[in-house]
Amino acid sequence: MSKNKGIVLALVLIMFMSAIETSIVSLATPTMQRDFNIDTEVALIFTVYLVAVVFMTPIVGELVKRINIKLVVLFGISVFIIGSVFCGLSEMTNSFPLLVISRIVQGLGAGVMMTLGQVIPKLAFPIPQRYKVMGIVGSVWGISSIVGPLLGGAILESLNWSFLFYINVPIALISMWLVIKYFNFEQETVEKTKLDYKGLLIFYGVVASFLLIVAEHIPFIVRMICFIILIALVFSLYKVETSIKNPFVPIEAFNRKIILVLFTDLIYSTMLMGYTIFMPIYLQNEQGFSPLQSGLTIFPMSVGWLFITFILGRLDKLKLKFIYMLAFLAMFVGSFAMLTGVEWIVIIPFAVFVMGISFGTVYTKDVVVVQEEAPSQQLGSMMSIYTLFKTIGSTTGSLIVASIYVLDLSFLNYGIQNIMLYMMLVAVTLTIAWSIIFKETKSI
């Protein structure tokens, strides 16, 4: 196997383990509810995982500046394996607290893997080849939601849900061997710069304040206090980071394009989380589908995702804004089809296929835009921040979309229709935002 193929395969496996954790585990949520005799608490297994990713992600950019990237990747995979094994053991011991704690450990490892999965292509491949590599790596999110529901459904049909976590172990061991053999990069540099502890602590304060504002069961007065603290911390962070040479958050790297892309990714992540968690619940609880049947029903979304990532490079002649507008239109069309035709099960494959095209377009273009716009010396930090925005979107999305799902809207019959209405409104809002804010015509 050539070095390039080895790197790509390692990236695919690393990203697959991170991406599949939501889609494969979401199928088991009804079973976990019954086994642990819990109700909405089951959302904790997604929330704590994503919060752990949020906690770990900012550190990764600093680690790769100071430690050989191969060692950082191996550390992330090792932590992820440990968390996966103990998640599986929680089924044997019938301990929901053990599952929650183990998901935190898993999330810490995933935070390392997800971030470095965006950094390594920049180090290993020039831009023409990197676009293809990013298409392959980006499509892993689509592939995982094909394989996740199918593999998860098959496992739940014949085994218990603990094997949803054990399946990560052989994949992780293979990826570790590939990392050891192939992850040697000429562009990699190890710096001896002083860590910006003050900026790091303030940044964590910003993230924590934001998560408390959007968290469930938080009194209104506490939310208001957190909002005030958030504003103060943002101003403090800006003041601190613009006054030092090697800031934790490279403020000067944030141009209009990167800011717009980051917020687009954050909002899209809320929608993906809503789809991933609640579509299986709808199909199994409302339609009476088995886990395997629900996996087969929703896999066309991943086909759409995979399809668009392989042809996206050919659309480079189109203006960047136009490509995003097409993605938002696809999201609107898919959500509208689901909203109006949810009673007819034949509508779902078409709708989720179109939505998959939208997700695949946005996620692939977002990461390439950040890679190309970020200064080379700040690549690790910027990709950490990019991953953080995506993860915050997923973390808050699990809470926001859960609230939307249970809303009693008299003109809608099912909770999944509430989510589709939310997706339509988001697509329209993003279309307006890009029309007003994005001015540059150069394509990336």
What confidence tens digit (pLDDT) does each residue in 246-277 have?
788 888 888 888 889 999 998 998 888 777 77
| Structure-token pair, residue 162 | 């603990």
Tokens of 61: 């950019």
How much is the mean pLDDT over the chain? 81
Domains of the chain: 3-195+248-437 (1.20.1250.20), 196-247 (no CATH)
Residues 6+ apart with CB under 8 A from 260: 433, 434, 437, 438
Of residues 371, 376, 366, 391, the one with CA closest to residue 273: 391
Q: How far apart are CA 419 and CA 407, in angstroms?
A: 10
The total of other beta-carbon atoms located within 10 Å of residue 206's CB is 19
Confidence check: pLDDT of 443 > 50: no
One-letter amino acid at 242 equals T
Single out the residue of 27, 301, 10, 51 nearest to residue 163, CA to CA.
27
Q: Of 149, 378, 133, 386, which is closest to residue 257 (Cα–Cα)?
A: 386
Q: Which has the higher per-residue pLDDT, 111 or 309? A: 111
Least confident of 73-82, 252-261, 263-272, 374-383: 374-383
- Predicted local distance difference test score (pLDDT) of residue 343: 59
* Type of residue found at 108: L
What is the pLDDT, as a whole number, of residue 366? 85
Higher pLDDT: 364 or 142? It is: 364
- Nearest CA to 238 among 230, 227, 249, 228? 249
Alpha carbon distance 188, 208 (integer Å):
32
What confidence category does residue 193 fall into, taking pLDDT thresholds of 50, 70 and 90?
Answer: low
State the residue for tokens 């695949």: 360
Give dist(CA 436, CA 299) in Å, integer. Answer: 35
> In angstroms, rounded to a whole number, what is the distance separating the alpha carbons of residues 267 and 275?
13
Give me the phi and psi of 88, to 5 degrees please: -65, -40
Question: 229 or 207: which carries more pLDDT confidence?
Answer: 229
Q: Give the DSSP H/E element, type plus range, for residue 401.
A: helix 379-405
pTM of structure: 0.73
Q: How far apart are CA 20 and CA 432, in angstroms?
A: 32
Highest mean pLDDT among 146-155, 156-165, 377-386: 156-165
Overall size of the chain counted in residues? 444
Looking at per-residue pLDDT, the higher value among 410 and 90 belongs to 90
Give the alpha-carbon dihedral of 281, 285, 291, 296, to 10 degrees: -80
